Structure 1
Amino acid sequence: MSKFLQIKDLGFKDYKETWEYQEVLFQKILQIKSNNKKQGFAHDTPNYFLFVEHPHVYTLGKNGHIENLLISEEKLKAINATFYKINRGGDITYHGPGQIVGYPILDLENFFTDIHKYLRFLEEMIILTLAEYGLKAERSKGETGVWLDVGTPFARKICAMGVRASRWVTMHGFALNVNTNLGYFDHMIPCGIKDKAVTSLHVELGKAEVSLAEVKEKLLKHFLQLFEAEIRKKMEA
């Protein structure tokens, strides 16, 4: 088992290109696992962690409802946004500038074989990171992701999550609102959950802008601790 992690920050990158890149890494791990099974020999499988910031895009999970996107194709073009139906769990979500998106592409057999635990660990990574900024973030029962003021009329979501897994290999991940333009959430019902607000780190802190690099550093620190992983290397372009 390999708990080494290969890290790559893709910067500002188109959603579809990034999705295709994820698929390449995802299929690479699956192919190694398939070969191991055929040969009866265990080659280590790699683990990847991608950071990225996307242009404006709405994505709908495989079990999502298209009616949760509240605008037409013409309006999408007018606000310079795109839309994709994708193969993760969850409903509709938004990605855009100022948001940190993380895609851990892991062989969970290197860590633990429990998807529920995997999602809880991703949530815990966000909760611990936000605690460093003085925010008390929480889980909301029955709703994947990370929230503030759970159980009150002021509950608001700060991080969405949606993953895909096959033979214990993961892809897709989380989207943490840092300096995000929250107006784009008005064009959808976030994650299909009505009557609950969305927020961002810079709004909660009352700052014009929060350092994305600093937040990424904290996220990665907590991820490594929770998964007992180590960084092997930065991935080449």
Structure 2
Amino acid sequence: MQNKQVQFADWGLVDYQEAWDRQEAVFARTLAAKQENRLQETDLPTPNHLIFTEHPHVYTLGKSGHPEYLLLDEDGLKANHATFYKINRGGDITYHGPGQIVGYPILDLDNFFTDIHLYLRTLEEAIIRTCADYGIVAGRYEGFTGVWIDAANERARKICAMGVRASRWVTMHGFAFNVNADLRYFGHIIPCGIDDKDVTSLERELGKKLDMEEVKAKLKQHIAELFGMELM
């Protein structure tokens, strides 16, 4: 039985380790529900979650990432009030911080579509449409995940990074959308291993700070529409 209902939660500003632990717990419960269906030969609905949050300054490195792309040592991290974690998502190094919408969809894709590439493209499309709501033309950069502005020329700059994990078609981790983020922190890494492209935010592109709650509402609506979700 496909379940299109999705529990939405905004965790606010949460320490990265705490958020990761909470994600893992939700992820494990969803996997357990799928396992129970398989063992009992039942078809009970499995849960879906969409979580928005922000983190204090933190750098995270995907499982196949390059530690050398972090340009700070331990003292440098402390001086910048930042932390560092090696985590179990795909992708390379990225930054999370205040003013950035971090989205963690923990979905059973059997409820929607079993295609990881389509899943990533659909998340990208939600960000692209949210940018369009503010008059910004965003798109994709061939060969890379995430959302970019001016991707077709040398001024290409990334506004949203993505890195996911999936097991038995259940997803976790997700995206980081720069709204009012302090872009100086990206200067301490080679973002996603790309050293010849810039990083940007809605604030930088528009020349003014955005209402985070307004942006979250628009983004949440686009995600729901594109996936055919019923947000709870």
Report the TM range for the smaller structure's normalisation.
over 0.9
Distance in 1 between residues matched to 2:84 and 2:189, nearest whole Å = 12
Alpha-carbon shift at residue 153 of structure 1 (Å): 1.4
Residue identity opposite 1:51 in structure 2:
F
Q: Secondary structure at the match of 1:143?
A: coil
Which SS does the other structure have where 1:135 is aligned? coil
Question: Aligned residue for 1:126?
Answer: 127
Q: Secondary structure at the residue paired with 2:134?
A: coil
Deviations 1:82-126 (A, max 9, x none): 000000000000000111100000000000000000000000000
Match of 1:227 in 2: 227
Q: Where in structure 2 are the equivalents of 1:103-182 lying within 5 Å?
A: 103-182=104-183
State the identity as a percent.
63
2:192 corresponds to 1:191: yes
Output aligned runs, 1:1-237, within 5 Å: 1-207=2-208, 209-232=209-232
Q: Distance in 2 between matches of 1:65 and 1:127?
A: 28
Structure 1 spans left out of the alignment, 5+ residues: 233-237
d(CA) in 2 for partners of 1:32 and 1:201? 39
* Number of positions where the alignment pairs a residue of Structure 1 with one of Structure 2: 231
In the alignment, the residues of structure 2 paired with residue 87 and residue 172 of structure 1 have an alpha-carbon distance, to the nearest angstrom, of 9
Question: Deviations along 1:28-57, whole A, 9 cap, x unmatched?
Answer: 000000010000011110100000010000
Pairwise CA distance, 1:58: 0.1
Question: Unaligned 5+ residue runs, structure 2?
Answer: none
Cα distance between partner residues in 2 of 1:86 and 1:231: 28
2:140 is paired with a residue whose SS is: strand
Structure 1 segments of 4+ aligned residues over 2 angstroms from their partners? none
What TM-score, normalized to structure 1? 0.97
CA-atom RMSD, angstroms? 0.5
TM-score, normalization: structure 2?
A: 0.99
CA distance in 2, matches of 1:22, 1:218: 23
Deviation at 1:203, TM superposition (A): 0.7
